[in-house]
Chains A and B, each alone.
Chain A
């Protein structure tokens, strides 16, 4: 009977062969399922039309010193604030060792446009929108922004000064288009 089978299946090599077939089949199945699942997962990422709305332009002429405006970029509030000379000096003269997330004010603004601070207006603690973009709102002891949810305070450079927020307000990508307009995104 064995002569009829060129490669007799004995107990010694039958088991590894079955194991290899099982593993190859399972691996093939896993690749297939992953390949099927990826489009379904990526489907939920931002669509092309959402990404197309990813930049906004903000005219600056109408914002007097001391005043800020809030614009919506990618569904998030962006604070664009025209700082007074005193606010700029205060931000620059703060020693970095007083900061829990040390960053120089010059690194947070664009050269030649130091009066403009542009930050994402979402508290880095738990996502509330801080007050203080308008002079009439509470700005906290440092004259920047004050988060009404848990009392975090940011200075005029948007840096965290009073916890619980762990880090500075992030700077969105933006460019100046002349002196009177910025494009965010």
Chain B
């Protein structure tokens, strides 16, 4: 919106509270590298899913009863009696999976294209923090339906803290508010499950503030050198984000309307029973690789430490990677190894979904070894010995070389 088209009222507000100017600067004319691929859609997609999760969660909270006696029945009440309760709950339940899919793709995109490197270290760290908040929120949310898997998931995860030397047992009792997972545990998880998403919003806002300071990375991983390398965010990337969102939301709709229990566990249709553990206990898919790491170590403290370490180590990524080149496109040895690392995570996911016996134990250890080996050994060493491919002079150059001109651009504008 230019000043000329602003109404008197908008101008009146804007001169007192420059919200229009701010939006215009950050989401209108904001210069963004012009060579984004579709992997750059997943930040916006994640944000929309965050809005979906909060909006559905707020209304679900109106009919949910956070105590052990009523929790399970209140979820069934939502599913059967409340208007659109089935839809809102399935949106929330599957929205968690869709949120994680988008955020994981966003994360791996950042790793592949070196988006965590200087000057984007804090941006990256804030991103890892959002992921940690998401994980805690998702875990506590999964406990709320108070089915068998909710109950035993909560028991297993909280018991991990018993591995802390000396104070472990007291910490666990404190987490539970009792001597086992019970009503006090459920209601505090509910309280935190409602609180953390708003903390998440705050950290996401910081994440966005940081990206608007340092600017977006791009698939080439080279810096923006001139205004010719960029496009204004609106309309070019607003429309591209909208398109990506439509495709992603279509997939979300397919999941919600045709396979709403695809990611769910049938065991969670049984009300929580503190006297009987289900035969197969496994977390939601988005935790499976971490669960596999936990079980790969034949030591309680070691397993727990490694599992949390698998996330914590990502915070150090900007300093573990010593290569000056950002994008894996120009790193001939790192690039295939990145995919090996990705495969090791997928393998760990598969391991997490199977009972820890036979070949799965060995595969779990191999996966864990490579996961950490890649981050702690390969990344620091490779940056020193690898000879990267020649980098393009600018973002504009490969765009011109590979295809026709962007519509509306003149030759004189792009060619030097």
Contacts and interface: CB of A to CB of B under 8 A. Distances in A.
Contacts of B85: 43, 47
Nearest to A46: B83
Contacts of A42: 83-84
A96 interface: no
A43 B80 contact: no
Contacts of A38: 84
Contacts of B84: 38-40, 42-43
Interface in B88-143: 88
A25 interface: yes
Nearest to B249: A32
Interface stretch (B33-41, B56-64, B214-222, B280-288): B56-64
A43 B59 contact: yes
Contact of A39 (B63, B77, B88, B242): B88
Interface of B is mostly: helix
B403 to A, nearest CB: 15
Nearest to B52: A36
Contacts, number: 42
Contacts of B63: 43, 47
B87 A39 contact: yes
B82 interface: yes
A120 to B, nearest CB: 25
B83 A47 contact: yes
Contacts of B55: 36, 40
B261 interface: no
A49 B242 CA distance: 39
A44 B81 contact: no
B233 to A, nearest CB: 16
Contacts of A48: 80-83
A49 B83 CA distance: 10
Interface hub of B83, B87, B88, B242 (most chain A Cβ within 10 A): B83
A50 B62 CA distance: 14
A2 interface: no
Contacts of A9: 408
A12 interface: no
A49 B77 CA distance: 8
A45 interface: yes
A47 B88 contact: no
B221 to A, nearest CB: 32
Interface string A49-71: 11000000000000000000000
Interface in B138-190: none
18 contacts: A25-B239, A25-B242, A29-B242, A39-B88, A40-B55, A40-B59, A40-B88, A42-B83, A43-B62, A43-B85, A43-B88, A45-B83, A47-B63, A47-B81, A47-B82, A47-B85, A48-B80, A48-B82
Given A42-B83, A44-B59, 16 more contacts: A39-B88, A40-B56, A40-B59, A40-B88, A43-B83, A43-B88, A44-B62, A45-B83, A47-B77, A47-B81, A47-B85, A48-B80, A48-B81, A48-B82, A48-B83, A50-B81
